[in-house]
Amino acid sequence: MSFEHEVIRDRQFSEIALDNIRLVQRELLKIESEGIRWFTYNALLEVDSKYWIAAASSTGKHHPPEDNGEGGLVRHVIKGTLIVQDLARRAHLGSRETDMAISAFLLHDTCKDGVVWTKGRTDVTHGIIAAEWLASFELADETAKTEIRNAIRYHMTPWCYAIDPFVDRSYTREEMQANIEELSRAMYPSRIEQVVRDADYFASRENASFLPGRDIVFDARKHDTPEEWLAELNSPYTV
């Protein structure tokens, strides 16, 4: 059974989401290590179904327009994976390191709204949530698993938080210290962590509009919705 059918199971998805699932399957095949590929595959099968239809930004204020419509989060992931490959090549990463970086990027936003998506907004500690969630998935190469989880945990540097600071309450000294320690650790990245965080940053810039395999021509018009923007690219989105 294909990755697409495994993800769908008995659930209903739009054509845009289905196209994105197929594209993720294509990205999975770029991972040469069978162990890392299956680790990534199995984790993606277990993500909340809302992951496949979510926008890249829960507020609509961030990311380029094509990533803020239905399925935009997965489009962001696909775009960022291409950037990961370019950065890995520039940094002369080996095959195994590149596999780890691709895996981390494919999984970095899987818990953006928690393990179970209920809040409808980005949890600023989603890197930690995903890293801890991934501990339960098997990968015989423990060093690779640690590298992948750390790259996910710290992908938001320099905006790393151990606890959510955006709530109206007082914080304990321990909580404040935890945030300092999280950011301090994140400021000294491994090569894989650096590639993943840079790819995430550049793929999310509001003026970095592109869709892999498609020419995008801008004109002076402003579309009302991301869906309309995508429709002009002959949606459902295909390569």
Give the model confidence (pLDDT) of 62-109 as tens digits: 788 888 888 899 999 999 999 999 999 999 999 999 999 999 999 999
Instruction: Write down the pLDDT at residue 160.
Output: 86
d(CA 22, CA 32): 18
Q: Report the 10 Å Cβ neighbour count for 189.
A: 18
pLDDT at position 215 is 56
Q: What are phi and psi of 214, to 5 degrees?
A: -125, 140
pLDDT computed for residue 36 by the predictor: 98
Select from 223, 191, 199, 194 the least CA-distant residue to 68.
Answer: 223
Residue 174, pLDDT score: 93
pLDDT at 224: 47
Q: pLDDT below 70 — which residues of the chain?
A: 1, 60, 213-239
| Rounded CA separation 214/198 (Å) | 23
pLDDT confidence of residue 239: 35
pLDDT of residue 226: 56
Question: How do the domains of the chain map onto residue ranges?
Answer: 3-231
